């Protein structure tokens, strides 16, 4: 590189860093989605410091329809509606507080089984909520008409089951309602309301609940066949007392199929193994019933935090960056911010805009280091 550019490089980098910081200050108001752009290392914080269930959740349970459940049936999808009708009636008989069907009904199946499910939904005394795909779902006009017809004839409320998946494939937030949609509330919000909780479908971080020690799930989870009289699974579940434990709970019925409706979450662990989407809805319902929340900073608070981080990084860059750049580099910044993020999350249940702060740190440290180099150059020239 020519010596002229070498002499000018610190000034150019300082100017670029300052411009970058000014743009970063505008980011919360100009592009608020950047405040939710989570670095994957933040998932470690969520997994480590989320609330832990002491036992299976007292108010929420899950019933799974799987390939095993449907072994004796001629098709898997949509799951046999005669079977779903039996499950709904069984949950009503055991005294479930509310029931949610994490399926959408955009296709007709065998008429007598479709009618059996609609009749069960109309007849049971338990509050029932249906799932639906809103305008963001890939449904044809004909499929939407069938879905609307089913919901109307079942005479039960329906909420959207769309999940919000981040660009890296992880579900971290509730999905808000689509603008102008006929489905203004989510499936989880309606099910929580049916269970007696005042709740809405607003977009927000999901406050994940960790499974109790040694457990696979924070929720009582039964195979659907455990609710069908005459099966070995039912006899075993009754003997364990699991069927009776469904009494008074909000019960979600959903699918557990190898390649369908599976989603990774911060709780999935290393490799982000995907699990059934019904568990994401169960987490949302449980959070609403419990009143647990995760807080997000407002745009002005984020801007103030960016300034604070940038100033600290600039001072460190000035003091240590010339000879000890590693002390204020990416690795050090990531470590410090991960620790701060974890402490704030664990103590205040507040999510920091990790990625924005990491960039602010880098730009601030660069600005401080380049400013120090410029001062040293000027002093040497005198």
Tens-digit pLDDT profile for residues 109-161: 999 999 999 999 999 999 999 999 999 999 999 999 999 999 999 999 999 99
As a whole number of angstroms, the distance between CA 67 and CA 64 comes to 10
Q: Does 40 fall in a domain?
A: no
C-alpha 206/C-alpha 58 separation (Å) is: 19
pLDDT in tens, 259-278: 899 999 999 865 557 899 99
pLDDT computed for residue 311 by the predictor = 94
- pLDDT of residue 301 exceeding 70: yes
Q: What percent of the chain stands above pLDDT 90?
A: 61
More confident residue, 111 or 365: 111
Which region, left, alpha or beta, applies to residue 349 given φ > 0 means left and ψ of -120 to 50 means alpha?
A: left
Query: Where a domain ends, among 235, 270, 290?
Result: 290
39 domain-assigned: no
Nearest by Cα to 151 from 112, 189, 122:
122
Q: Are residues 204 and 300 in the same domain?
A: no
Q: Are residues 190 and 248 in the same domain?
A: yes
pLDDT at 88: 98
Q: Do 374 and 225 lie in a common domain?
A: no
Range of the domain at 347: 3-30+295-381
216 shares its domain with 363: no
132: in domain: yes
pLDDT, residue 318, reads 87
Asked if 207 and 345 sit in the same domain, the reply is no
- Say whether both 197 and 264 belong to one domain: yes
- The reported pLDDT for the residue numbered 168 is 84
The pLDDT, as a whole number, for residue 322 is: 58
- pLDDT for residue 290: 95
How high is the pLDDT of residue 270? 52
In angstroms, the CA 144 to CA 61 distance is 29
Window from 126-140, 148-162, 278-292, 299-313 with minimum mean pLDDT: 299-313
Q: Same structural domain for residues 85 and 189?
A: yes
Q: pLDDT tens digits, residue range 338-360?
A: 888 889 999 999 988 888 888 89
First vs last C-alpha separation in the chain: 25
Residue 111's φ and ψ, nearest 5 degrees, are -55, -40
The pLDDT, as a whole number, for residue 376 is 85
Question: Span 69-90, mean pLDDT?
Answer: 96
Do 105 and 247 fall into the same domain? yes
Does 372 have pLDDT greater than 90?
A: no
> Structurally, how many domains does the chain consist of?
2
Looking at the fold, whether 267 and 137 belong to one and the same domain comes out as: yes
In terms of domains, do 18 and 71 share one?
Answer: no
The verdict on 221 and 370 lying in the same domain is no
Per-residue model confidence as pLDDT tens digits over 27-76: 777 766 666 666 566 788 888 999 999 899 999 999 999 999 999 999 99
Q: What is the predicted pLDDT for the residue at 379?
A: 80
Which of 88, 70, 90 has the alpha carbon at shortest distance from 79?
Answer: 70
Residue 26 Cα distances to 296, 306, 310, 350, 365, angstroms: 18, 10, 14, 22, 19
- Determine the Cα–Cα distance for residues 77 and 82; give it in Å rounded to an integer: 13
Residues 223 and 238 in one domain: yes
pLDDT of residue 272: 58
Please, which pLDDT band fits residue 6 given cuts at 50, 70 and 90? low
């Amino acid at each position: 590189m020519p010596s002229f550019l070498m002499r000018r490089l610190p000034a150019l980098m300082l100017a670029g860093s300052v411009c970058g910081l000014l743009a970063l200050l505008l980011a919360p108001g100009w592009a608020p989605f950047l405040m939710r752009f989570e670095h994957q290392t933040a998932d470690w914080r969520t997994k480590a410091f989320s609330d832990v269930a002491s036992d299976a959740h007292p108010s929420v349970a899950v019933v799974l329809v799987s390939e095993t459940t449907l072994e004796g049936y001629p098709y898997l999808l949509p799951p046999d509606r005669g079977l779903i009708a039996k499950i709904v009636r069984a949950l009503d008989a055991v005294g479930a507080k509310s029931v949610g069907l994490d399926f959408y009904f955009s296709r007709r199946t065998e008429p007598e089984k479709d009618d059996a499910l609609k009749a069960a939904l109309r007849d049971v005394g338990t509050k029932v909520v249906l799932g639906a795909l809103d305008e963001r779902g890939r449904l044809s006009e004909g499929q939407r008409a069938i879905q609307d017809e089913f919901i109307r004839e079942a005479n039960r409320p329906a909420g959207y089951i769309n999940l919000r998946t981040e660009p890296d494939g992880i579900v971290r937030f509730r999905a808000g309602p689509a603008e102008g949609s006929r489905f203004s509330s989510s499936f989880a919000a309606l099910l929580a309301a049916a269970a007696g909780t005042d709740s809405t479908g607003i977009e927000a971080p999901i406050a994940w609940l960790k499974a109790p020690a040694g457990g696979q799930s924070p929720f009582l989870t039964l195979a659907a066949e455990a609710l069908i009289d005459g099966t070995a699974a039912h006899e075993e579940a009754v003997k364990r007392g699991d069927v009776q434990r469904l009494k008074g709970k909000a019960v979600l019925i959903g699918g557990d199929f190898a390649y369908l409706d599976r989603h990774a979450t911060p709780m999935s662990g290393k490799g982000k193994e995907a699990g059934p989407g019904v568990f994401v809805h169960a987490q949302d319902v449980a959070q609403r019933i419990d009143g647990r929340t995760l807080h997000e900073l407002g745009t002005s608070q984020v801007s103030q935090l960016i300034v604070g981080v940038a100033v600290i990084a600039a001072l460190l860059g000035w003091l240590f960056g010339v000879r000890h750049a590693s002390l204020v580099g990416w690795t050090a910044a990531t470590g410090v911010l991960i620790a701060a993020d974890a402490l704030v999350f664990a103590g205040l249940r507040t999510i920091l805009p990790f990625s924005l702060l990491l960039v602010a740190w880098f730009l601030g440290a660069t600005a401080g280091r380049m400013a120090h180099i410029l001062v040293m150059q000027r002093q040497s020239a005198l």
